[in-house]
Amino acid sequence: MSAHNEDTPELIGDRFIRAGSIMLEASADAAGQRLDQWLASQLGPDMSRSRVQMLIKQGAVTVGGKMIDEAKRKMIAGDSVSVVMPEPEPAEPLGENITLDVLYEDDELIVINKPAGLVVHPGAGNWTGTLVNALIHHCGDSLSGIGGVRRPGIVHRLDKETSGVMVVAKTDRAHKALSEAFADHGLTGDLERAYQALVWGIPQRPSGTVDAPLGRAADRVRRAVVPSGRDDARHAITHFTVQERFGEAQQAFATASLVECRLETGRTHQIRVHMAHIGHPVVGDPDYGQAFRTKANRLPDPLKTLVKAFPRQALHARLLAFRHPATHLTMRFEAPIPGDMEELVSGFRKL
């Protein structure tokens, strides 16, 4: 296989992330392969197969000078393939000047400490004021384009009211590598996630594992533990360790624990559902801790006032470690418990 960029013939190292025309020639071992499959293998880690398929549909790929619009077209040895790499399209939605707590940033990715109350991605009821809007404004032209659009690549999410460390891709290469790491939950690479949660009650054991599949609840917004044979059941495992215990064990109505939860899988609302499933819902959780709301009435003041006024689930993504997609070095980031949650924990400590 040989390749060159018509705009900068000698610029081989980063040719795949710049606009221009890339010329490729198929070798003998390419014969019989699908066009999209072969192109993805030749264009390297910066180009996903889905992105190649999009370019083919857009008429950006020619073979022997003829435009090809079928991704499944079979390759023939000696085929001369040209790929036109367009400039990334303007970002949608628009960027917004929203303050970000940036823990780290380079050309490939950005790591932020997300505050509680910030929605990650625009959607119904939240078309503006999201983390994506903030990142588009903050990163600007340093976004090389995810799928051909100047936008940040979201590879994992935190609930609106959950705070803590998040990593976001700025390039196709980073998006592909990080997405794969999160998809297999770090089984083939370095991925570590640890959360801190203030939960009601004191678990019987100092540590344990919740292995219970999750699926949609009746209202289709929440999640629930479901039978493993159900069509929408998704494998879910959470490991927890009790870090602190608050209150007297014999006064179960006035006890709570600070626990660390480590994810072996990453399902929607996983920690919140699993902790509620074992009888220790997250304090302040409006979806999975409703049955424990009256417990606050039995607490002494001023703790009772603190708990009743706390507006969210007391859950924080404390630690995130992953392998950098370009340097392949393991990077590790931590964020302390935010002030509102620390005040709540301190209140329980006084018990």
- Known catalytic residues are 159
Residues 6+ apart with CB under 8 A from 73: 34, 35, 63
